[in-house]
Structure 1
């Protein structure tokens, strides 16, 4: 009687189990890969934020030095007459273009690869009319030249890949 109850086993459970283990392994590997990528993105964002904050500090230091009656244009490192450079390439090429002209930030900043630098330019221009007054050559000449300062700062984050350049216009 026992012989009639015996069933032939085909191994379907083993195959289904192996497929499930394979699916779970693939899901685990993709989760590990995704978390590694997220960790890299978080590190890059941290480097960029470090560079941004350091560049912002240098920008504010330069603007603070402009709050005197006679800014040191042309007499101090980092303070130049107008360079007439509006090209993005000029400002991005720090090493070859404006590093010799720039001043370094006065304090050390933790976790930043190199000290931030800044450059202040004096920009003179003829002002247009205000308060609804018409703009014509005579009124512009009567008003004379106005002076603004273009402040540019650059910083590197924790790695040399994270560079931030900030620029502001300052008026006394």
Structure 2
């Protein structure tokens, strides 16, 4: 038989091993929870930026109703979509959506809460094209349609979050 002096400490070692395992599991669980919280926060920020960009698209579409009297001269967010990349005309030099400065962008009129910057948009007038469904009779006038490209960008709560949306808008010319 073993004496009681030889058995002392075995329970302590087993308890320490179990405590170490529980501590490792606890740290792993906390890291997992922290990572999930960060992902949820980033997802919320991207969603806010997307909604802000949607608001800018909607405002640009509303502004389309007055386009017959607006000159696309490269100011106030109104540009021409020029096929020649070397064209240096002011009306053809729309801003790059990746640039963080707001030069050349039209800031929306409504104040969107909880964003780092207000959403912005530009409208590009695409050259009028012939209606592909029109008749080719020589005595009939071929109607042209106005095409516009709207590029909008919205920002989230963080200044590092930006969502960019582009849409094409068509309307009948009078």
| TM-score above 0.5 | yes
Q: Give the length in aligned residue pairs.
A: 157
Aligned to 2:62, which of 64, 88, 98?
64
Aligned to 1:21, which of 16, 19, 22?
19
Equivalent in the alignment of 2:110: 107
Q: Any conservation in 2 of the 1:83–1:121 contact (CA below 8 Å)? A: no
**CA–CA separation in structure 1 for the residues paired with 2:46 and 2:69:** 31
Q: CA deviation at 1:80?
A: 2.1
Q: Any conservation in 2 of the 1:124–1:145 contact (CA below 8 Å)? A: no
User: Hey, which of these two has a bigger chunk of helix by percent?
Assistant: 1
Equivalent in the alignment of 2:80: 81
Are residue 171 (structure 1) and residue 170 (structure 2) matched? yes
Structure 2 unaligned segments of length 5 or more: list them. 86-94
Q: TM-score, normalised by structure 1?
A: 0.77
Q: Any conservation in 2 of the 1:116–1:155 contact (CA below 8 Å)? A: yes
RMSD between aligned alpha carbons? 2.9
Equivalent in the alignment of 1:155: 154
Q: Any conservation in 2 of the 1:65–1:71 contact (CA below 8 Å)? A: no
Aligned to 2:119, which of 116, 120, 124?
116
**CA–CA separation in structure 1 for the residues paired with 2:142 and 2:40:** 52
Structure 1 unaligned segments of length 5 or more: list them. none
Are residue 54 (structure 1) and residue 52 (structure 2) matched? yes
Pair 1:171–1:100, CA change in 2 (3 A): same
